């Protein structure tokens, strides 16, 4: 995986805008209902972009699709926007900030799994504090749903986004390099780390799918 600049130039801004638009497109097109919740894979898109453009970009890009979703297809008001943004920003920022200081295969994998843990924990807290407000239900009801639905859903959702990021990061970064949207050296070969990343992604994806099937 390649090194990145910390500052944003025109090339970076174009790339970030492209990823933000793609994240929204994924949200709009690829939505899987699980009870009253909805899975989408936009966090994988945002995280791949954050690996390329840095952790600050994760915060910026996370807001854009969350806001567009808020004004177009969301029915959860401001609170849904808050939780949507918080989830995406926490996931992509956590993964990217670890990778920023460990710019290698191990750093990327560590960052993604740390993002799974941190985002799942954050969403449990927000489910307890915020979900009762916009759903207009007693907090006790939400707490009762935590072990049955909310916790496994958030865990499976973050696992699946981590899996997609593992599988898609390298081909996307190579494509962007060839399109001259990113600078730096990008390894276009298929090496041992590439195989391990894909296998880890496939295993993670399988675990996430099993959890979704159980709670669905």
pLDDT of residue 170: 80
Evaluate if residue 193 carries a pLDDT over 90.
Answer: no
User: Can you tell me whether residue 37 is helix, strand or coil?
Assistant: strand
pLDDT of residue 181: 62
Residue 89: CATH number of its domain: 1.10.1760.20
pLDDT digits (tens, 9 = 90+) for 113-169: 999 999 999 999 999 999 898 888 899 999 999 999 999 999 999 999 999 999 988
Which residue range(s) make up the domain with 151? 10-215
Quote the CA–CA distance of 149 and 151 in Å, as a whole number: 6
Residue 160 near residue 205 (C-beta atoms within 8 A): yes
Residue 2 within a domain = no
More confident residue, 76 or 60: 60
Contacts of 105 (CB under 8 A, 6+ apart): 1, 193, 196, 197
pLDDT of residue 7: 58
Residue 4 within a domain = no
pLDDT digits (tens, 9 = 90+) for 101-110: 988 888 889 9
Evaluate if residue 1 carries a pLDDT over 50.
Answer: no
| Per-residue pLDDT band at 6 (split at 50, 70, 90) | very low
Q: Percent of the chain scored above 70 by pLDDT?
A: 90
Of 30-34, 91-95, 174-178, least confident by mean pLDDT is: 174-178
Residue 94 near residue 111 (C-beta atoms within 8 A): yes
Average predicted confidence (pLDDT) for the chain: 86
State pTM to two decimals: 0.88
Residue 5 within a domain = no
Residue 1 within a domain = no
Interior/surface letters 100-115, b for 16+ CB within 10 angstroms, e for the rest: beeeebebbbebbbbb
Helices then strands, counting H and E runs in the chain, come out as 9, 2
Domain count for the chain:
1
């Amino acid at each position: 995986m390649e090194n990145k600049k910390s500052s944003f130039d025109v090339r970076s801004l174009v790339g970030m805008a492209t990823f933000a638009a793609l994240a929204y497109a994924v949200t709009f097109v690829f939505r899987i209902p699980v009870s009253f919740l909805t899975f989408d894979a936009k966090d994988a898109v945002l995280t791949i972009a954050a690996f390329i453009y840095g952790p600050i970009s994760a915060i910026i890009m996370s807001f854009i699709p969350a806001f567009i979703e808020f004004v177009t297809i969301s029915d959860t008001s401001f609170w849904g926007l808050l939780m949507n943004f918080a989830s995406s920003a926490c996931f992509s920022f956590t993964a990217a900030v670890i990778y920023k200081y460990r710019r290698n295969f191990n750093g990327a994998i560590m960052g993604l799994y740390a993002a799974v843990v941190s985002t799942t924990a954050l969403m449990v807290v927000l489910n307890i504090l915020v979900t009762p407000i916009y759903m207009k239900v007693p907090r006790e009801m939400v707490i009762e749903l935590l072990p049955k639905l909310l916790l496994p859903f958030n865990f499976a959702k973050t696992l699946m986004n981590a899996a997609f990021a593992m599988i898609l990061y390298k081909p996307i970064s190579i494509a962007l390099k060839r399109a001259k949207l990113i600078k730096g050296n990008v390894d276009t070969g298929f090496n041992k780390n590439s195989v391990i990343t894909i296998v880890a992604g496939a295993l993670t994806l399988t675990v996430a799918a099993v959890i979704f099937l159980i709670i669905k």
